[in-house]
Structure 1
Amino acid sequence: MTTAAYTTAMPANAGWLTRTEAWLDHKGKGAWIAAMVLGFIFFWPVGLALLAYMIWSKRMFGKSCRSHNPSARKQAWAAMKPSGNRAFDAYKAETLHRLETEQEAFEAFLERLREAKDKSEFDQFMEDRAKRVQTQETADA
């Protein structure tokens, strides 16, 4: 998301605090925590104020800073409700089913890759271990 994308919802005369809050929300919870830690490091009352604001505004314990956008929930619901056109709803259901199937296949592929990598690393470890044991036995003899 570009800077313009998250600042367009703000009024043109939004202050620097509003713009900073929108920027931190866009970056996520990690940015809020980093700002709080830096506030404690440079001037402890700023860190304390950020901590209080994060707790008061539910940014600290919420799922995400971005979840405070009520229009996002409406858009997600609008995508799931039927349109009234049976052909379109059938197309949408078939497309969603196809995407879910592709996602499952991709996740299975990634799992096979992880297993192959783990096996390769384990085989390499066992080879290195066997070489060490053989070298140690040769040195002891």
Structure 2
Amino acid sequence: MTTDLPSPSPGGWFSKAEAWLDSRGKGAWIAAMVLGFIFFWPVGLALLAYMIWSKRMFNKSCRHRNGFGSHHWSRGLHTPTGNSAFDAYKADTLRRLEEEQRDFQAFLERLREAKDKAEFDQFIDDRARRAAQGEADNSAA
């Protein structure tokens, strides 16, 4: 006989409630906040403060807060399907996509560094030009 008792660990019930509300989206958070204000206003106020503090109030959806691996559609990406040909294809495709993502991130980093270097070089050239112009003005006077 098993019972579904809350976890004795601190914050266990809170984490479960937060995950449950996150899985249902922003509407569930707003409904919980409104019900909190209706039944006991400090609870509604606490939920409002938590939603603002955790930036749940201003996001399009609460579901993307936990990163890529927590999406309900991505949980099965690395689990075998039983079809070895498809599993090999899927693993190869995922590996290739991850490699392309790393290459693209490296490209963006090189692009940022090149832009920073160009801006710095322009700053140094402008500074040298102003210094030379200032010396020319001083020698002419």
Sort the TM-score into its range (normalised by shorter chain).
0.5 to 0.7
Of 13, 22, 28, the residue aligned with 2:27 is 22
What CA distance in whole angstroms lies between the structure 2 residues aligned with 1:121 and 1:24? 45
Gaps of 5+ in 2: 1-25, 31-40
- TM-score normalised by length of structure 1: 0.54
Matches within 5 A, 1:27-66: 51-54=45-48, 60-61=53-54, 65-66=62-63
Per-residue deviation at 1:77? 2.1
Q: From the superposition, tell whether residues 74 and 112 of structure 1 become closer, same or farther in structure 2 (CA, over 3 Å).
A: closer
> 1:110 maps to which residue?
108
3-state SS of 1:78 partner: coil
Gaps of 5+ in 1: 1-20, 26-45
User: For the aligned residues, what is the CA RMSD?
Assistant: 3.5
Q: Which has the higher helix share?
A: 1
Q: From the superposition, tell whether residues 60 and 82 of structure 1 become closer, same or farther in structure 2 (CA, over 3 Å).
A: farther
- TM-score normalised by length of structure 2: 0.54
Per-residue deviation at 1:62? 8.6
3-state SS of 1:77 partner: coil
What CA distance in whole angstroms lies between the structure 2 residues aligned with 1:104 and 1:67? 21
Percent identity of paired positions between Structure 1 and Structure 2: 47
Whichever of the two has the greater Rg, that structure is 2
Matches within 5 A, 1:6-17: none
The number of residue pairs the alignment matches comes to: 96
